[in-house]
Structure 1
């Protein structure tokens, strides 16, 4: 009997050892994919692989077509899940970013700061000299680079419109005491050019565009310095920010500045960072308004989403919790010029239907 018991124990031990040895090895999380800096190669990921709903794809595409879209991309983990073009637009057609391009200037400001060329809290007049506005000198000297990044310069935003010549930059309030959407942020491009000893486009190309494989160029449109590129180049920029300023293992923008830029930059408009719009905050302001609205900017969008929003519905949506970047280029969805409208709400209803 003892021999039988001993044999059974040996057999049980061997079975136990065998079962442990064949336990599956945990699958590590998928690392973020980055497309090559040149060429058209860009890896894809299917709706089926993600476990998303194929039936929700066509209603989304129909809505985009109906709403005057030209280019649309969804990335997950850096890979293309959807890429669609409408109304004669193609993968090689350039389109303007409008105010979505403000975030390019914010990113370049962070790069210039990490290189020691500028200080975020330094006065703008340290770089541009006094008299860059039509304000009393004591008031002008209150304005820092941070105030331009956070739209709290105190410069009059209604009377002179978006003009940025010195005569048009007049006093409304002390810097830091009032949030108002104004084109004066473009003065940061002059600050960077002065500090770097290069023209704005050259510094931008060297420090950002070429390092992540973007195409496109800056051009002047009225008082605005506007960027134009393909939809994929806009997606490349969104991917950089999804990865907190790193492209593969290369730090383009340091994470400290990234975190500051994508969180509330002041306590007046909680829905605004450094030229980025922020979802999921308890309140927000809109351009050309001093009213405070309670709740999230896009109520049915992810709470951790941060956004670049431009005239005629140029969009970059970045959602870290879902490793998601969404790009929309095109004409105004509803024949209005607002950067934010009910188009965002309906669009996110249709996007979230893919994965909910």
Structure 2
């Protein structure tokens, strides 16, 4: 971990280990079908912060009618679970923004697999710009022999399979993060099984790199990052590319998706792609879109297993929640029916997972006490 932090430090991005000692100081600072609720705020005008400075309008829990007696319980829970940054946006305005355990607003934290949502969004922009189609074979952009499958097996895998975790790649290999051809073996015909195979996701960025004339990073920066005023950078960590940014930058991306890919009147991706991205993408795991997790479905499959679990992904959360969920409990929650974007960044809360974890349900129990 020290070597990773040193590399990150050299380019101005901070890094922390899940095992860092924590203190208790704090610094306060429509999908498939709209789900009707008594608090439906889908027609509320959203606030968008400027992209050229750090100002951001605020509201308060008192103003929006939340139960402030529950805030201290939530705060204690966040501190005790190794949280570094926690933000709630209400209709785009900051209602709560706090930093714990020695963290500061300016810290850049890893998104881990929550950053998959950034890649999915970029695929949508590239498709809108006619650089690719998600139905194209991956081989169109990676060439032949990017796996050790037969030519026919390899050609059958599409970009959409990469976005939906349905490539059929062998997940019994020693390292499912490894993107070397010898790590990418055939197991099932695409679209017949679902498995959270990181290597096939990771290769979506090389696909974009080869499909887009200006390359992935330049395109991402100009079309997404700079357009909505994010900071941050993609950092190579082993086989992975992980996005590091401030919590406010994650909140900006959340606000963009709360408004269905539209930033203050600028539609960054088509409504068609946004709908596909944030609804069930295949019949195998209803709780998965295009690299987004979806709540309120009949069942779900978690990373690292093929077991189908009955019920909603996060029982305590609203059914219309969509989420980017990363290792060590990086959380990007978007709840259209309530006009909310919620960010949690920090170290492992103690219920380790590559994405969804038991922490989601516990956290939402505390959030519900606050907002309901």
TM-score, normalised by the number of residues in structure 1: 0.90
2:193 to 175, 178, 197: 178
Counterparts of residues 99-138 of structure 1 (less than 5 Å): 99-138=113-152
Pairwise CA RMSD: 1.2
Structure 1 residues 166-214: Cα deviation after superposition (integer angstroms, max 9, x where no partner): 1111111111111010111121111111111223211110110000000
2:201 is the counterpart of 1:169:
no
In the other structure, the counterpart of 1:198 is: 214
The unaligned stretches of length 5 or more in structure 2 are 1-41
2:85 is the counterpart of 1:35:
no
- Indicate if the aligned counterparts of 1:113 and 1:119 stay in contact, CA closer than 8 A: yes
Alignment: residue pair count: 329
Separation of aligned partners in 1, 2:353 and 2:66: 33
- Indicate if the aligned counterparts of 1:103 and 1:308 stay in contact, CA closer than 8 A: yes
SS in 1 for 2:48: coil
1:329 to 330, 334, 345: 345
How far apart are residue 38 of structure 1 and its match? 2.0
How far apart are residue 335 of structure 1 and its match? 6.2
How far apart are residue 59 of structure 1 and its match? 0.6
In the other structure, the counterpart of 1:223 is: 239
In the other structure, the counterpart of 1:243 is: 259
- Indicate if the aligned counterparts of 1:193 and 1:203 stay in contact, CA closer than 8 A: no
Structure 1 segments, 4+ long, off by >4 Å, are none
- Indicate if the aligned counterparts of 2:296 and 2:320 stay in contact, CA closer than 8 A: yes
Separation of aligned partners in 1, 2:318 and 2:120: 23
Separation of aligned partners in 1, 2:151 and 2:228: 41
Separation of aligned partners in 2, 1:109 and 1:160: 29
2:295 is the counterpart of 1:279:
yes
TM-score, normalised by the number of residues in structure 2: 0.87
